Amino acid sequence: METKPPLVAEEERKLALIPGAEPSTYMDPWWWLVILAVALALVLIFTQPDYQSIFHFILPGIKITASVTFASYFLMLIVGMIGALGRLSKNFIFHGLSSLYVEIVRGIPLLVQLIIWYYVVPSVIQKIGNDTGIGFLMNYRANPLIMAVVGLTFCYGAYMSEIFRAGIQSIPKGQMEAARSLGMSYFQAMRHIILPQAIRVVLPPVGNEFVSLLKDSSLVSVVAVADMTRRGQEYMATHFNPIPVWLFVALMYLILTLFSSRLVSWLEKRTRFER
Amino acid sequence: MLPIIQIENVEKHFGRTRALRGVSLNVSESEVVVIVGPSGSGKSTLLRCINRLEEYDAGKIIVDGITLDSAQNINTVRREVGMVFQSFNLFSHLTVLQNLTLAQHVVRNRPRQEAEEVANKLLKKVGIPDKAEAFPMQLSGGQQQRVAIARALAMNPKIMLFDEPTSALDPEMIKEVLDVMTNLAHEGMTMVVVSHEMGFARAAARRIIFMDEGQILEEASPQNFFSNPQHERTKLFLSKILHL
């Protein structure tokens, strides 16, 4: 067999893309907005001592916001996947439990859920400890960071499982039938046939969830997590200068969200195949 | 010798409609059976019961000595039974070659090189050896269906089921698919074909089954079926499709 020159292989790869969606050689113009926002932040930090001190104060908060977001996002992908498989399962109990989970979680505001995880759940655990006399439970103290991640994961996992479910259901039934008729088990078919196709379908909404999560992570400031928002509040409380503080905090969120949505759309373009 | 497919009194309901009403059918090895009938007569349902893509409510199906009852048996039978669908159902995220090698690898544990050899040989056999690296959507309908046939053959099935394999094709592409099927029949593959292609039925079938309203009304050799149909319903059906 003759070997093809790389140019031909490149051409063929392009053919697999949707017509008109050729891999772009030019930069997505929205990147300029990201650059502009970063430049603005840098100018403020290096020319205004006010902003410099704000930046240094909220920097640990930025790290917390990023870690809470990444940790919850990773966990909620897993929870969402399990939830979606449950919603699609024929098993009565598995299906019932995941449906119940999704319906309940979607009906309660995230802020209320976070408060429940931080204040209510530990009290309940301590109460159980007192009633049963188990010392370990009696002395239970909630770790704000862990409870915040659990709360965000629990809530967003429900939304995620609906996205995954819709993505899996969007793959034509014939794909599963063809895989099964070749002797693959349900899980082999899921893994090799259904999920790889479903991922391409759900990538945009799943990416958007990351951006939403990043913004909603500001709610954890209410339950004793020193994220960016809470650091801003603390700074304002001592310096009484709301305008620069919140302008800067908003700018930081904007940079993070703009950057992540660019990343999502770049990924989306790279994985888009004709179906 | 025992028939390779034994269907005994199979019943199937979709809600309140009875799709199959006590269907019995035996197919022996190397036999080519073509099932015809009006739409909604249960022919596709019957075919899909043979590899248990459709569950049936009563009766018994034994394929190659294995009764279709446990999940274990169903998977064993599916390995021996290839299926070709009306809508091709090629895996659209995989290349043609990967479509042919994936199941060999995952189900049969064949090493990559061997699987690719099998795949390339089959692509040659169905007449598209140069399309191995293409994606399904870059192929014509006829080519896609031939890839689907090759994909099923790659598992070395003992039986091939065809569910209206040419119904979704442009008229010009029907022949290339039927040619592949006719060759397969001449090689001695056991085939059960649901089709409206009377030309194929005449040329390749050993037996034609006529179904209506979930029952087998008539079974005959192609010659008798076309020249001397017994049942009134069969005559009516033939008069409508053989408008020559």
CA dihedral A198→A199→A200→A203, nearest 10 degrees, is 130
Q: What is the DSSP letter of A19?
A: T
Which tens digit of pLDDT belongs to each residue from B207-244? 999 999 999 999 999 999 999 999 999 999 998 887 65
Task: Evaluate if residue A20 carries a pLDDT over 70.
Answer: no
Residues near A230 by beta carbon (within 8 Å), at least 6 away in sequence: A61, A221
Q: Which residues of B lie inside 8 Å of A (Cβ-Cβ)?
A: 51, 53, 75, 78-79, 81-83, 85, 87, 89-93, 102-103, 106-108, 133-135, 137-138, 148, 151-152, 155
Q: Which residues of A touch B106 (CB under 8 A)?
A: 184, 188, 192
Task: Evaluate if residue B170 carries a pLDDT over 80.
Answer: yes
- Residue B18 Cα, gap to closest chain A Cα (Å): 23
Mean pLDDT, residues B75-82 taken together: 91
ipTM confidence: 0.91
CA distance A151 to B124: 57
What pLDDT score was predicted for residue A274? 47
Mean pLDDT, residues A206-219 taken together: 94
CA distance B23 to B21: 6
CB B53 within 8 A of CB B83: yes
Task: Evaluate if residue A17 carries a pLDDT over 70.
Answer: no
Which tens digit of pLDDT belongs to each residue from B25-73? 999 999 999 999 998 899 999 999 999 999 999 999 999 999 988 888 8
Beta strands B5-14; B58-63: pairing state: antiparallel
What pLDDT score was predicted for residue A24? 52
What pLDDT score was predicted for residue A4? 46
Structure tokens at A186: 């349900």
CATH of domain A30-271: 1.10.3720.10
What pLDDT score was predicted for residue A119? 93
Which residues 135-194 on chain A approach chain B with CB closer than 8 angstroms? 172, 174-175, 177-185, 188, 192-193
DSSP lists the bridge partners of residue B159 as B81, B190
Q: What is the DSSP letter of A171?
A: S
What pLDDT score was predicted for residue A158? 96
What pLDDT score was predicted for residue A132? 87
Task: Evaluate if residue B187 carries a pLDDT over 90.
Answer: yes
Mean pLDDT, residues A212-227 taken together: 94
Q: Which residues of A touch B98 (CB under 8 A)?
A: none
Say which amino acid occupies B53: L
What pLDDT score was predicted for residue A19? 46
- For chain A, the domains span 30-271
Which tens digit of pLDDT belongs to each residue from B145-164? 999 999 999 999 999 999 99
Mean pLDDT, residues B71-85 taken together: 91
Which residue from A178, A181, A197 is facing B93, i.e. has the nearest CB?
A: A197
Cα atoms found within 13 Å of the Cα of residue A29, Cβ hemisphere only: 0
Task: Evaluate if residue A28 carries a pLDDT over 80.
Answer: no
The overall average pLDDT reported for chain B is: 93
What pLDDT score was predicted for residue B111? 95
Structure tokens at A118: 């931080």
Which tens digit of pLDDT belongs to each residue from A92-150? 999 999 999 999 999 999 999 999 999 999 999 999 888 888 878 888 888 999 999 99
Task: Evaluate if residue A247 carries a pLDDT over 90.
Answer: yes
What pLDDT score was predicted for residue B16? 87
Contact A182 B75 (CB under 8 A): no
Which tens digit of pLDDT belongs to each residue from A34-93? 999 999 999 999 999 999 999 999 999 999 999 999 999 999 999 999 999 999 998 999
Which residue from B83, B89, B106 is facing A192, i.e. has the nearest CB?
A: B106
Which tens digit of pLDDT belongs to each residue from A157-194? 999 999 999 999 999 999 999 999 999 999 999 999 99
Where is pLDDT greater, at A83 or A20? A83
CB B50 within 8 A of CB B6: no
Q: Can you spell out the DSSP letters for A12-76?
A: HHHHTSPTT-PPP-SPPTTHHHHHHHHHHHHHHHHH-HHHHHHHHHHHHHHHHHHHHHHHHHHHH
The overall average pLDDT reported for chain A is: 88
User: For testing the chain A interface, which of B106, B133, B147, B192 should be mutated: the one with the most A CBs within 10 Å?
Assistant: B106
Task: Evaluate if residue A215 carries a pLDDT over 90.
Answer: yes
What pLDDT score was predicted for residue A2? 44
